[in-house]
A and B are shown apart, each in its own frame.
Chain A
Amino acid sequence: MSVSLSITLIGVGLFLMLLTTYVLKKGRIPEKYSLLWYAFSLIILLVAIFPNLFAFISDGLGFQVMSNLVIGIILGTLIILTMALTIMIAGQKKKTTLLIQELSLVKSRIKKLEEKENDK
């Protein structure tokens, strides 16, 4: 791996780590999700710092160029992440639907009671 690629990867890895720390500090993501992003940036840093180890792995797995393995890992992680997000969104949608329904039912019930009160 060329030195400039190593430097770029180290830069990307560090940026991702700092970004994760920043949003974690601001409380915008829960700790358990930040863990995943830390792992992600750590992998990038490891690739940049120990290219030989990854060259060995990529040869073993039959990749022609090591950068393909790096891209492959990133792509695979992103796909799984997207899947996890789809599942999360579906769960959120269920909860919002439930809230909208229950709130609407309660609202109409209150209205009815108020009308009864006013009629007295």
Chain B
Amino acid sequence: MEKVLLIIPAYNEEENILKTYQKVIDYNKKEKKHYDVIVINDCSKDKTSKICHDNNIPVIDLIHNLGIGGAVQTGYKYAYENNYDIAVQFDGDGQHDVRYVEKIIKPIIDKEADLVIGSRFVEDIKTFKSTFARRVGIKIISCFMKFATHKKIHDTTSGFRACSKELIYDFSLSYPSEYPEPVTTAEVLKKKYIVKEVAVEMNEREAGVSSIRAWKNIYYMLNVCLALLAIKIRRYKRCQ
């Protein structure tokens, strides 16, 4: 039986975090699963930490704000220290559905993939697929990804991902602090790991503000594309 950990990075998620956690617990009970949860509270200014402690939600409070990359990496370090076989990145804002965890960890259990991305674009399922501008952005990043790694990844910015034990160790050692999703996907591909996309449904955010704000989008795109070009000319070796 694989030990599975859901890493939930949270920054100012007081309205969502308890609901998200409760859904996982209910799901565990109903389906007889044993998904563990760790919330990484990225120095939230609201009551996120208090809500977690009051409700006995396993949480690590970062002593200083690190941003999404640093927070998620803390989760991978925790997963490595506690000997988890599979780590799943899971948003605390209600976008991701715990029912799909089983689907995205399956290729790892079957040893078919090292990294599995929960994708909104692989099969034609009716789901919230983000705004038009954002979809165009994802397409462009996807083209750059193809150029850098010669592999087609459809949903390059999806934060719903599962990875194997080997990659947990890899991520715990190094993880980009900015634009972690497309960058790590490209790096993992360059290290010749197998990446697979699996169709999932996503919900619109229930409350709070997404970390990618509209006016930052062009700047975000530029940086990601540059990062992917840099990855193309870099050499990568697997961590031993």
Residue ranges of A at the interface with B (Cβ–Cβ < 8 Å): 93, 96-97, 100-105, 107-108
Residues of B within 8 A of A97 (CB): 66, 70, 73, 177
With a cutoff of 8 Å between Cβ atoms, the chain B residues found around residue A107 in the complex are 61, 63
- With a cutoff of 8 Å between Cβ atoms, the chain B residues found around residue A104 in the complex are 60-63, 74
Q: Which residues of A contact B77 (CB under 8 A)?
A: 101-102, 105
B117 contacts chain A at the CB level, 8 A cutoff: no
B204 at the interface (CB under 8 A from A): no
Judging by beta carbons under 8 Å apart, are B78 and A105 in contact?
A: yes
Contact status B66-A108, CB under 8 Å: no
How many CB-defined contacts (below 8 Å) exist between A and B? Answer: 34
B235 within 8 A of A: no
Count chain B residues whose beta carbon lies closer than 8 angstroms to a beta carbon of A.
Answer: 14
Chain B residues with CB under 8 A of A103: 63
**CB pair A105 B74 closer than 8 Å:** yes
Query: What are the residues of chain B within 8 A of A108 when measuring CB–CB?
Result: 59-61
17 contacts between A and B (CB under 8 A): A93-B177, A97-B177, A100-B62, A100-B64, A100-B66, A101-B70, A101-B74, A101-B77, A102-B77, A103-B63, A104-B62, A105-B60, A105-B78, A105-B81, A107-B63, A108-B60, A108-B61
Mask of B107-147 contacts with A, CB within 8 angstroms, 1/0: 00000000000000000000000000000000000000000
Contact residues of B: prevailing secondary structure: mixed
Measured in the bound complex, the distance between the Cα atoms of B66 and A101 in whole Å is 9
Q: Which A-chain residue is minimally distant from B40 (CB atoms)?
A: A104
**Residue interface bits B42-61, CB-to-A below 8 A is 1, else 0:** 00000000000000000111
Distance in angstroms from B66 CB to nearest chain A CB is: 6
Which residues of B lie under 8 Å from residue A105 when comparing CB positions? 60, 74, 77-78, 81
Please state if B177 and A101 are interface contacts (CB–CB under 8 Å).
Answer: no
Q: Which chain A residues border B64 with CB–CB below 8 Å?
A: 96, 100
Return B127 CB to nearest CB of chain A, in Å: 33
Bound-complex Cα distance A66 to B74 (A): 55
CA separation between A104 and B61, bound complex, in Å?
6
User: B62 — which chain A residues lie within 8 A by C-beta?
Assistant: 100-101, 104
Closest to A108 in B: B60
A78 to B61, CA, bound (A): 40
Interface centre among A93, A96, A97, A103 (most CB of B within 10 A): A97
Give the residue name and chain of the B residue nearest to A97 (CB): B70
> Within the complex, what minimum Cβ distance (angstroms) separates B99 from chain A?
29
In Å, the complex CA distance between A100 and B77 comes to: 12
Q: Kindly state the separation between the CA atoms of A108 and B61 in the bound complex, as whole angstroms.
A: 7
Question: By the criterion CB–CB under 8 Å, are A100 and B70 in contact?
Answer: yes
Q: Which of B64-88 contact A (CB under 8 A)?
A: 64, 66, 70, 73-74, 77-78, 81
Nearest residue in B to A90 (C-beta to C-beta)?
B177
Instruction: Report which residue of A96, A103, A105, A107 has the largest number of chain B beta carbons within 10 angstroms of its beta carbon.
Output: A105
Closest to A102 in B: B77
Q: Which residues of B contact A101 (CB under 8 A)?
A: 62, 66, 70, 73-74, 77
Cβ contacts under 8 Å, B70 to chain A: 97, 100-101
Distance in Å from the Cβ of B216 to the closest Cβ of chain A?
A: 20
Residues of B close to A93: CB separation below 8 A: 177
Query: Which of chain B's residues have a CB closer than 8 A to the CB of A102?
Result: 77
Measured between beta carbons, the chain B residues less than 8 angstroms from A100 are: 62-64, 66, 70
